[in-house]
Amino acid sequence: MDVDNISAGFLKGPARRRKEKYLMKKRIFAGLLTAIMAASLVACGGSGSAPAAGGDDSSGGADGKDSGEAIVVGFAQVGHESDWRNASTNSVKDAFSKDKGYDLQFVDCDNDSAKQIEAVRQFIQDDVDYIVIDPIVSTGWDTVLTECDDAGIPVIVIDRTIEDSKKYISWVGSEFMNEGLASGAWLKAYAEAKGIKDLNILVIEGSNGSSAQIGRTDGFKKYADEEGWTILDSQDGDFTQDGGQKVMESYCKSYAGKFNVVVCQNDNEAFGAMDAMKAAGVSYGVDKDVILISFDACKAGLEYVQSGDINADFMCYPLQGEYCAKIIEQLEKGEEVDKQTFMQEPWYVAEDILKDITYTNNAGEEVTEELVQVTDAASQASY
């Protein structure tokens, strides 16, 4: 199932595999029924012949469309650390509902990589039809993905990426490096527009080893290196409000009076960091002590951009369930699927002093992208 080598032959695979599974279940059921009938005839001492077993086809077709034969999807979700994550979970649950013909096996891996690998192995044991993984970390995947491959179960990766294995069919998610690059390009243009010369920056990173943390860190750092900004510190806040608050409390003590930019790699960390700064008497947001940058642009995050507490928020779009379901539908029909599907992600700002930013994206193209000033409609439309 090498993503670079998807052949038409394989793409017929999932539907064919489901048919084989269905026929096998039917045979086992038929065998069991015959055995039970024979046993009961012996017990009753009857002499009549047993009815032909296993002839009932009414339990549903093998193509997943008839009643009674749901498509079984195992989803190994990261955890429940943030607003983004909750929106992601709801989106996958909606897309793979019973009404839509699915049986979703959902596992919340509680941000524990070992638990996530275990969940995938359990899906293999349970012989689900498809496995969907949102990988907590980007490495350590090849062995278990080989096991999925050997079992003939197609894997779809959503949100975060896997860097050390190509044994999955398709990936749906965000270009985290571009999010980081855009935040750097924005800070450069914003500091110029405001006449701020020295940037002394504290970063609260997302869960270390996740591709979201790696992309956002590297993209922003490219600008920091080129522009000679000082990154005073960069610590893991685990994408949680509590983590953001704790890291910021310690920053406020260690770097009191020395920083004028805080970059939080998601909104929940920013909420925690705001509480910590408030408690330490540090002001943040438009024309305050600290420029506050965040990622995700969830509803609550955008409300803080609108009120001027967060200066800029780089959207990461979590409603990926329907894209994932579309891939499974295509696989069921034996159609070719895209190897990668990128989400569209706007950049939101509190002020209208900059209309757009220009930067070289991760694909090496120079792009000019709009900066959206947050309105009620924008924040209310978010997740």
296 binds ligand GYE (CB under 6 A): yes
Nearer to ligand GYE, 86 or 361 (CB): 86
Nearer to ligand GYE, 239 or 304 (CB): 239
Nearer to ligand GYE, 69 or 81 (CB): 81
309 binds ligand GYE (CB under 6 A): no
Indicate the residue type of 277.
M
295 binds ligand GYE (CB under 6 A): yes
Q: What is the C-alpha radius of gyration for the chain, rounded to an integer number of angstroms? A: 26
Neighbours of 152 (CB within 10 A): 16
Query: Is 336 in a helix, a strand, or coil?
Result: coil
82 binds ligand GYE (CB under 6 A): yes
Nearer to ligand GYE, 73 or 298 (CB): 298
316 binds ligand GYE (CB under 6 A): yes
Angle at 344 between CA 339 and CA 348, to 5 degrees: 150
Distance CA 21, CA 29 (A): 12
214 binds ligand GYE (CB under 6 A): no
Identify which range of 16-24, 43-51, 79-87, 184-192 contacts ligand GYE by CB under 6 A.
79-87
Q: What does the block give as tokens for 241?
A: 């409000």
Helix, strand, coil share of the chain (percent; to 5): 45, 20, 40
Q: Are 246 and 310 in contact (CB under 8 A)?
A: no
Minimum separation from the CB atom of position 369 to ligand GYE (A): 19
266 binds ligand GYE (CB under 6 A): yes
For residue 289, what is the DSSP state? S
Nearer to ligand GYE, 242 or 289 (CB): 242
Residue 294, Cβ density class (10 Å: 0-12 exposed, 13-18 middle, ≥19 buried): buried
Contacts of 66 (CB under 8 A, 6+ apart): 60
Q: Are 37 and 29 in contact (CB under 8 A)?
A: no
179 binds ligand GYE (CB under 6 A): no
* Whole-Å CA distances, 251 to 109, 237, 260, 287, 356: 30, 12, 12, 21, 31
Minimum separation from the CB atom of position 83 to ligand GYE (A): 7
Nearer to ligand GYE, 105 or 266 (CB): 266
Nearer to ligand GYE, 267 or 332 (CB): 267
What is the torsional sign of CA 362, 363, 364, 366? Answer: negative
- Write the binding mask 189 to 208 for ligand GYE: x where contact by CB under 6 A, - elsewhere: --------------------
Minimum separation from the CB atom of position 251 to ligand GYE (A): 20
Q: How far is CA 218 from the centre of its chain?
A: 19
Nearer to ligand GYE, 69 or 313 (CB): 313
Q: Which of 130, 223, 239, 347 binds ligand GYE (CB under 6 A)?
A: 239
Order the strands of the 230-236 sheet from edge to edge. Answer: 230-236, 200-205, 261-264, 291-296, 312-315, 347-349, 366-373, 356-360
Q: Nearest CA to 198 among 222, 233, 221, 230?
A: 230
Using CB under 6 A, count the residues that bind ligand GYE.
12
Minimum separation from the CB atom of position 271 to ligand GYE (A): 11
Q: Are 290 and 261 in contact (CB under 8 A)?
A: yes
Minimum separation from the CB atom of position 265 to ligand GYE (A): 7
159 binds ligand GYE (CB under 6 A): yes
For residue 290, what is the DSSP state? B
212 binds ligand GYE (CB under 6 A): yes
178 binds ligand GYE (CB under 6 A): no
Nearer to ligand GYE, 105 or 210 (CB): 210
Nearer to ligand GYE, 296 or 332 (CB): 296
Residues that bind ligand GYE (CB under 6 A): 81-82, 84-85, 159-160, 212, 239, 266, 295-296, 316
